[in-house]
Amino acid sequence: MKLLLIRHGDPDYARDALTPKGHAEARLLAEALARVPMDEIYISPMGRAQLTAQYTLQKIGREGTTLDWLAELNGNYGGNAWCWSLPPAEVLARPEPYSATDWPRQTAYGEHMAEVVRPFYAQFDALMRWHGYAREGFRYRVLRSSAATLAFFCHGGVILTLLGYLLQVPIPVAYAQFWVDTASITAIGFDEHEGYAACRLLVWNDTSHLAPLRGPIHAQPYPLR
């Protein structure tokens, strides 16, 4: 199985919509995705993700499924401080590395985000189980093997949080040192062996389809949501 994690186009956060640039990005994204087999298409309920997905759905003549839990995660842990917007150099100013399991006790936003990601991971894993993969520890037991490609139109925080979960990267490190641009495509593959599957990063932050816009590398530096 393969997962395509697709961030929405350049956002107008105030209106939960897309900027003119975001619409242009979504059109180019649709052209690229029209050449990619997608068995299921899941969409965040938020406006900027819905608008981005509609370009692709109209292009390929398909309908998507809206999942409420794909909405951007609440990374605001106090005073409009977003956990994935902290400067990486500040996050990494510590003598010991972060732990993939004990990170909630190692960062200021740990308790807040631990509560946020717990139901999110549960919903994600319920969907994976429905598709034939049951989470056990750090890998998935294969209930039934699948060659399906699942596409998720969602948000930067959602994608970074999933990358941390699926690749065993501590959340503070994923937020500080990973990046996904607007209208980018990131792909995760399920590599199977003797009845179990583990995730591999296949494509990260592909924006090659946006070359005609000749925009900056980071269209919306911070906050990412």
What pLDDT shows up at residue 177? 96
Q: How many residues can be counted in the chain?
A: 225
The predicted pLDDT at position 214 comes to 67
Q: Which CATH architecture has domain 2-213?
A: 3-Layer(aba) Sandwich (3.40)
Q: Inform me whether the pLDDT recorded for 222 exceeds 70.
A: no
- The answer to whether the CB of 3 falls within 8 A of the CB of 200 is no
What does pTM read for this prediction? 0.94
Output the CA–CA distances (angstroms, integers) from residue 75 to 81, 110, 115, 158, 216, in the order listed: 8, 10, 11, 10, 25
Measured distance CA(157)–CA(224) in Å, rounded:
7
Average pLDDT, the chain: 94
Q: Rounded distance, CA 175 to CA 173, Å?
A: 5
User: What pLDDT shows up at residue 221?
Assistant: 42
- In this predicted structure, what is the pLDDT of residue 80? 83
Cα 149 from Cα 184, distance rounded (Å): 17
Q: What pLDDT digit, counting tens, does each position of 109-154 carry?
A: 999 999 999 999 999 999 999 999 999 999 999 999 999 999 999 9
Q: Which amino acid is located at 41 in the chain? A: I
Residue 218: predicted pLDDT: 47
* pLDDT at residue 220 is higher than 70: no
Confidence band of 204 (pLDDT split at 50, 70, 90): very high
Range with lowest mean pLDDT among 27-41, 61-75, 148-162, 206-220: 206-220
Mean pLDDT of the region 25-31: 98
SS3 call for 79: coil
Report, as an integer, the average pLDDT of 218-223: 44
Distance CA(197)–CA(47), nearest Å, equals 34
pLDDT tens by residue, 80-113 = 889 998 999 999 999 999 999 999 999 999 999 9
What is the domain partition of the chain in residue ranges?
2-213
